[in-house]
Amino acid sequence: MPKVTMPQLGETVAEGTVTKWFKAVGEPVDKGEALFEVSTDKVDTEIPSPAGGTLTAILVPAGQTVDVGTTLGLIDEEPEAAAGDAPRARPGARLDVEDGAVDSPLPATSTRRAGGAGAERLSPVVRRLLAEHHLEPGDVLGTGPAGRITREDVLAHVAAVSAPAGDEAAAVSPVVRRLLREHGLSISDVTGTGPGGRVQRRDVEAAAAALAAGSRADEVVPFSTIRRLTAEHMVRSKATSAHTLMVREIDYENVERARRRHGPSFKEREGFSLTYLPFNAVATVQALGEFPHLNASVGDDALVVHAAVNLGIAVDLDGQGLVVPVVRDAAALTLREMAVRVRALATGARSKRLTVDDMSHGTFTITNPGPYGTLMTGAIINQPQVAILATDGVSRKPVVVTGADGEELIAIHSIGLVALTFDHRVIDGAYAARFLARLAEILETRDWASEL
């Protein structure tokens, strides 16, 4: 019987906390399907099931911290799961379809298969009734064992959708009846917006939301593991470093011309838009090569200047917390490679697919609130680093430029601010200012178009 164990999520990680089980004991699970979530001091990660079958035991409940290698649960590996056959129906699973919306505890992929490949589990009578009324299996709420569709289910569905408009109690689908029951509502509590005033699923959900809003009180949201650790890290950083902020205006017109010229072909080739972030990242890495004391950490009464630039990119997890995946050996990457690598890390962080190693050994960090139109951000240093760069919003503004014959002209350029927070214990203002001046020069003069 396959065991579910606490994985090794990083070379320095010895333990992890089970924060959530996605399956209950007795539920089927496919190999590779997300089974549980683990939290460490750096990352929350969804762990896939090592085998297909039925989860027969959970030995470590959510909220418990255990060592790497500890057995967390057991799976009874069924032959059909191992062979990759059609998915088994989950106990109590139902396919409820109305107005094009699917309501099911099954994942979307399993839902689609249940409506097609699951048809062989139907009786001849049910198949005939479905065909007569031009229905698909996924159109009907199954109330039989394991959610199987019975003859009565088909007849009830047909009666509901064909009931006269005035017969309000009957002219609702099984989905609506279930929702009314779950929310403690009667048909008279809901205003129908369907044909002939028929009550639909969205009507019940709207009525339930309005009822909840009327009785709403202050919500207490406990800190998640990652939110608590982020808070502790930020407070510790402010107490450790002598934070100092320095800001520089950047004329991004050179970058903008490259984006306008090559952006469409880049998106067609790579599948995502070419933003300002990879330009800022490449320019930052180049500037750090000339100002290495910013690519450093504070050691034991000493400044540790790192040989390689491992560039951290701060990623917001939809308000749930902040993580900093790391682009290793960033100086070796081209502009296109940087864009692809940053995109992959951000996507992996938000989908909880990164490991602790993906977020370790950073030497300098960029935080990028610019897409939200920020003006200037004083970021907190990511310890034990000595600096962090915030790249804020870029907008079109009138600027003074020098014409071909030396006269001053007014032009419209893309302008933004970059803000460097540095540790004044080890970095002086003049050094930080020269770094920002060099960063601006690179962004404003480098031949970006040739790199795309």
Least Cα distance to 208 among 191, 188, 183, 189 occurs for 183
Tally of CB atoms within 10 A around 2 = 16
- Where do the domains of the chain lie? 3-82, 96-214, 225-451
Q: Which of 85, 99, 167, 428 is catalytic?
A: 428
Pick the CATH number of 3-82 from 2.60.40.1930, 3.30.43.10, 2.40.50.100, 3.40.50.700: 2.40.50.100
Q: What backbone phi and psi angles, to 5 degrees, belong to 63? A: 100, -10
Bridge partners of residue 395, in order along the sequence: 415
What pLDDT, on the 0 to 100 scale, is given for residue 387? 98
CB 233 within 8 A of CB 383: yes
Least Cα distance to 383 among 274, 224, 229 occurs for 229
CA end-to-end span of the chain: 52
Contacts of 35 (CB under 8 A, 6+ apart): 4, 21, 22, 23, 29, 47, 48, 49, 55, 73
Using alpha carbons only, give the angle 419, 425, 428 rounded to the nearest 5 degrees: 55
Low-confidence ranges of the chain (pLDDT < 70): 11-12, 41-42, 78-121, 145-146, 159-172, 174, 195, 216
Pairing of strands 96-98, 53-58: unpaired
Contacts of 298 (CB under 8 A, 6+ apart): 241, 304, 384, 386, 423, 425, 426
What pLDDT, on the 0 to 100 scale, is given for residue 34? 87
What's the CA gap between 87 and 402, in Å, rounded?
Answer: 68
What pLDDT, on the 0 to 100 scale, is given for residue 115? 40
Active-site annotation holds for 428: yes
What pLDDT, on the 0 to 100 scale, is given for residue 161? 62
CATH architecture of 225-451: 2-Layer Sandwich (3.30)
What pLDDT, on the 0 to 100 scale, is given for residue 98? 39
Q: Which of 251, 361, 424, 447 is catalytic?
A: 424
Least Cα distance to 104 among 95, 113, 112 occurs for 95
Q: Which amino acid is it at 271?
A: G
Cis upstream peptide for 384 (omega within 30°): yes
Q: For 385, which DSSP code?
A: B
Q: For 137, which DSSP code?
A: G
Which two three-digit tokens encode residue 61? 């409940």
What pLDDT, on the 0 to 100 scale, is given for residue 99? 39
Active-site annotation holds for 233: no
**What's the pTM value of the predicted model, to 2 decimals?**
0.62
CB 44 within 8 A of CB 325: no
307, 389, 315, 292 alpha-carbon torsion, rounded to 10°: 0
